[in-house]
Amino acid sequence: MKRCMIVDDSSVIRKVVSRILAGPDMVVVEAPTAGDALAMCAAELPDVVIVDSRLPDMASEDLIRRLTTLDPQVRPHIMICMTEFDVGTIMRARRAGARGHMLKPFSRTQLLECFRDMEIAA
């Protein structure tokens, strides 16, 4: 079973992602802050992490960098999620270890398409 973590301070965004992705083949866990995400990932690193570009407690690229170094054996698919297209944010996230990006608000189709592009079955 695949695990996905959504890191976003918006409970609405976390719930939307959970409702779209959660199912018999995917468990979705939610973290409102980078600190919560790191604590949860220390116990079990998910297969996919969706990180909001504006977190209240840490720069998103710092969180991405830390997630990629938690377990050298496991490399989760990390995607940055933002409200405005910003090449600088995308490039910083990619240099830190993100593999993709998506814009908010997103539809069910758009989110599932991102997962297909990453070759993650949802």
The percent of residues above 70 in pLDDT, for the chain, comes to 96
State which CATH number among 3.40.50.2300, 1.20.970.10, 2.60.120.200, 3.20.20.100 fits the domain covering 2-117. 3.40.50.2300
Provide the pLDDT confidence category of residue 11 given band limits of 50, 70 and 90.
very high
For residue 105, the Cα-to-chain-centroid distance in whole angstroms is: 15
Strand order in the sheet with 2-7: 26-31, 2-7, 48-52, 77-82, 100-103
Euclidean distance between CA atoms 7 and 49, whole angstroms: 7
Tokens of 32: 């409102």
Residues 62, 97: Cα–Cα separation, whole Å: 10
Give tens-digit pLDDT for 92-118. Answer: 999 999 999 999 988 888 888 887 776
What percent of the chain is modeled with pLDDT above 90? 74
Q: What is the mean pLDDT of the chain?
A: 92
Q: What pLDDT is stored for residue 119 in this prediction?
A: 64
Reported confidence tier of residue 74, pLDDT bands at 50, 70, 90:
confident
Q: Is pLDDT above 70 for 54?
A: yes
